[in-house]
Structure 1
Amino acid sequence: MSTVRILISCAANFGWPLHQLDVKNAFLHGDLQEEVYMEIPPGFYKPDMAGKVCKLKKSLYDLKKSLQAWFDRFRRALCGMGYKQSNGDHTVFYRHSGHRIAVLAVYVNDIIITGDNEVEIKRMKENLIKEFEVKDLGQLKYFLGIEIARSPQGIVLSQRKYVLDFLNETGMLGCQPASTPIDPNHKLCANSGNSINKERYQRLVGRLIYLCHTRPDISYAVSVVSRYMHDPKSEHLNVVYRILRYLKSNSGKGLMFKSHGHLNVESYCDADWASYLDDRRSTSGYCVFVGGNLVSWRSKKQSLVSRSTTEAEYRAMSLVVSEMLWVRNLLSELNVLRNVPLRVWCDNKSAISIANNPVQHDRMKHVEIDRFFIKEKIDSGMIELNHVNSSGQVADCLTKGLGVKECNAACNKMGMIDIYHPS
């Protein structure tokens, strides 16, 4: 989904059109490279067929290699049309014609096409229709449960229908709305409350995880409740209901992609030191902007215990630098990246000072790998590290619970709006 959001940010900044195609019976187009046999289907069996089986020539649904067979066939067809497969994301294909480009992204049988080469896009559609059974759905409006609305002001991604259906199925459509997704002073731990139905809890949290594709404002709260999927308690379920009550208050909120006239890459990273009461591990949070639009974010519990706030910040910084390098590689392949440093904003002055200090101190040996990884990118001029005040830290909402005022401010900084809200 990060790739899809990057392409949408490019379309918003450059005014590219967004087309959508759907491949009918996609898996049946796959060619099997191995010999696969199946039992004779019910209704076709005859007495003289005893001991016989069917040999498959095409892949079928539910076959383990059907997805791989379909994608391999699709890849060969596009490469035969002169397209190159991206190394940053293998589901992206592109073709340059002079200074113009056509880009295609595929997710199973759903295809998004964008670019500024209308002639090539038209030719690509015609070739795909000849090669596969393809339906042209026109302008991109609905993709994988995500609603896309486009206007002269920009492009909005939301999951309003998904949220309303979710609230209706859980009986929370008439609940009292909440102003924040999680209590800022929550003290959740593994033994908070009594045991509950694990399957129901996992189903609810799983649906919330999918909702995070367009709702970074609930990412931290969802990451907290997803920690207890193996043994949920009643207090954990109460937090899930709190998230649902928050969604009730702004079911149509989504990401706004505007044209900012550039495609610079910048990010914010933050860490909340020793925030988890069970094991005292820290929380990393980051968000990456491409062309002024939020395309990637993450709220994650760190894998190791950090012995200082600086170490926790370094782990978060290392995480976001890796993500930015991937974004940079993808944009470089599409030839849309300007030759400017990737800018990282951090609110910890100690981490910034150590990253820019050429001398390695003994007290920093416990973060040696992360330090050298970041310093190498700074010395090469690829990364530019800057300080930001805590009040301007966008990633703050990805590491801790916030109050009402701070939560609304974070949503505004991330470019979230509710186009369904009465003005």
Structure 2
Amino acid sequence: MEEELFALKKNETWILTQLPKVSKYKARLVAKGYNQVDVIDFHSSFSPVAKTQFDVNNAFLHGDIEEDVYMIPPEGYKDASPNQINKSFVTLLVYVDDILIVGNDLDKINLIKQYLNRKFSIKDLGNAKYFLGLKIHRKKSGIYVNQRKYILDIMADTGLTGCKPATVPMIKGVKLNCKSSSTLNEPEKFRRLVGRLIYLNFTRPDIAFSVQQLSQFMHEPLQIHWEAALQVVRYLKGTPSLGLFYPSNSNKLLESFSDADWATCTDSRRSLTGYCIKYGDALIAWKTKKQNTVSRSSADAEYRSMATTVCELKWISFLLKDLQIPVQLPIPLRCDNQAAIHIAENPIFHERTKHLDIDCHLVRDQFKQGFVLPQHVYSKVQQTDIFTKPLEHTAFYSLRDKMNLRDLHLEEGILD
């Protein structure tokens, strides 16, 4: 604590003064606005502020910069020779005062750490082992990430440390709604538990469907919702060390799976979108989400799920590009609904699907541009079933294994 206070004083973080009487205005800085993409968000407005009536050409020329700034020449700039491009790459992931630094040049990484230490007085923790509650274990074959300690805390908080484990997080056939049982006497405990399960979902995609179902009832939970939440905890009891494994020898190809459960919500009759995205054998993105509007057919619901998946793929492709990781196109977009595939590939269907206009054009345009390639898969090999419905344990375990969820504590005797 004294080190923290010393660092604050050393950097002259604040001075005590009287609060002046000022007018309050609110504004936001939007970085890289030029990254907006046609069809996806080209015509969207973000953080609107008062519009100006003039612009300054080459405004950056009118400011003095004392530091040297190195940039990779943009596409189309031909004057720079290859030996003039900086090949080192270092990136920082910053969350408040917790920082992960990654790069391909150890010397550059050390220089950055030394610079940050001079400026802010940092504590070098060495190779990453824990970050924001995530345990990170590195080995030659890959990286293993889990939240075992966090799960043990959840079990202790709910009094289920000694409970009998459940085989699945949600029992097949269970349908949660807002009027099936009595109101929960202590709604705060439900909200606290579901909030913790939402954070646990960062490394446990196997509970994504259950968490989405429970999070719909945060405003007024019922007794049956609390019992369903405890079912998830009992499932975690049997799998506390399960975590995502990212193999180092995997292929470098993106692939995606999209699915929908039509009219699954008994309260609103809205459908459920589910998708997962892999980079090689590594699962890097997944989601279970209720759709914003009611779909008039299963094909409508599936197509809206495809559009949501395409938007996520676009964002991931931009992120990978920033990390200097090439993306091979087209990206397979696997769906088990033939009608949705035909809509994407055949413009004749568009006349009969005008109510799908935006989603229709989004997926169709990205298909025409060679960004995605819709492909049909049979329902029994659809990997996103685990994100759209409760399954019996055999099917659940099969899909869980395909997400590369592993227990290295059990397999290799890793200690905390």
Report whether the alignment pairs 1:333 with 2:331.
no
Structure 2: distance between partners of 1:394 and 1:283: 15
Distance 1:314 1:138, change over 3 A: same
Amino acid aligned to 2:302: E
Structure 1: distance between partners of 2:187 and 2:286: 28
Match of 1:384 in 2: 373
1:189 to 158, 177, 185: 177
Distance 1:361 1:383, change over 3 A: closer
Structure 1: distance between partners of 2:67 and 2:391: 52
Q: Deviations over 1:192-222 (max 9, x none)?
A: 2111111111111111111101000001001
- Say which is worse superposed, 97-106 or 123-132, in terms of deviation: 97-106
- Say if 1:282 and 1:302, in contact at 8 Å, map to a contact too: yes
Match runs of 1:20-39 below 5 Å: none
Q: Offset at 1:28?
A: 8.0
Amino acid aligned to 1:112: L
Structure 2: distance between partners of 1:151 and 1:297: 25
- Say if 1:264 and 1:337, in contact at 8 Å, map to a contact too: no
Report whether the alignment pairs 1:362 with 2:351.
yes
Q: Deviations over 1:51-102 (max 9, x none)?
A: xx378xxxxxxxxx9xx9xxxxxxxxxx9574779xxxxxxxxxx9643311
Distance 1:404 1:339, change over 3 A: closer
Structure 2: distance between partners of 1:290 and 1:112: 21
Q: Deviations over 1:12-55 (max 9, x none)?
A: xxxxxxxxxxx9579889999xxx9977xxxxxxxxxxxxx378
Match of 1:232 in 2: 221
1:146 to 122, 134, 140: 134
2:331 to 342, 364, 370: 342
Amino acid aligned to 2:223: S
Report whether the alignment pairs 1:275 with 2:264.
yes
Match of 1:93 in 2: none
Report whether the alignment pairs 1:222 with 2:177.
no
Match of 2:76 in 1: none
Q: Offset at 1:132?
A: 1.0
- Say if 1:181 and 1:218, in contact at 8 Å, map to a contact too: yes
Match of 1:167 in 2: 155
Match of 1:118 in 2: 106
Q: Deviations over 1:376-408 (max 9, x none)?
A: 011011111111121221111111001101111
- Say which is worse superposed, 357-366 or 320-329, in terms of deviation: 357-366
Q: Deviations over 1:119-139 (max 9, x none)?
A: 211211111111111111100
1:127 to 115, 118, 140: 115
| Structure 1 stretches of 4+ moved >4 Å | 23-32, 36-39
Q: Offset at 1:349?
A: 1.1
Match runs of 1:307-326 below 5 Å: 307-326=296-315
TM-score for the superposition, normalised by structure 2: 0.79
- Say if 1:37 and 1:54, in contact at 8 Å, map to a contact too: no
Distance 1:202 1:38, change over 3 A: farther
Aligned length: 354
Structure 1: distance between partners of 2:91 and 2:397: 35
Q: Offset at 1:253?
A: 0.4
Task: Give the number of the structure whose residues are more often strand, by fraction.
Answer: 1
- Say if 1:24 and 1:135, in contact at 8 Å, map to a contact too: no
Structure 1: distance between partners of 2:233 and 2:150: 12
Q: Offset at 1:421?
A: 2.4
Report whether the alignment pairs 1:244 with 2:244.
no
Match of 1:50 in 2: none
- Say if 1:256 and 1:417, in contact at 8 Å, map to a contact too: yes
Amino acid aligned to 1:157: V
Structure 1: distance between partners of 2:268 and 2:8: 45
Structure 1: distance between partners of 2:385 and 2:70: 41
Q: Percent sequence identity over matched residues?
A: 38
Supply the RMSD in Å over aligned alpha carbons. Answer: 2.7
Structure 1: distance between partners of 2:281 and 2:69: 32
SS at match of 2:113: helix
Higher relative contact order (CA 8 A, sep 6+): 1
- Say if 1:192 and 1:236, in contact at 8 Å, map to a contact too: no
Distance 1:331 1:83, change over 3 A: farther
- Say if 2:350 and 2:360, in contact at 8 Å, map to a contact too: no
Distance 1:97 1:290, change over 3 A: farther
Structure 1: distance between partners of 2:8 and 2:297: 51
- Stretches of structure 2 that go unaligned for 5 or more consecutive residues are 21-25, 30-65, 73-83
Structure 1: distance between partners of 2:68 and 2:171: 54
Match of 1:176 in 2: 164
Structure 1: distance between partners of 2:253 and 2:388: 25
SS at match of 1:420: helix
Q: Deviations over 1:261-291 (max 9, x none)?
A: 5432211111000111111111101111123
- Stretches of structure 1 that go unaligned for 5 or more consecutive residues are 1-22, 40-52, 56-64, 69-78, 86-95
SS at match of 1:163: helix
Structure 1: distance between partners of 2:223 and 2:328: 52
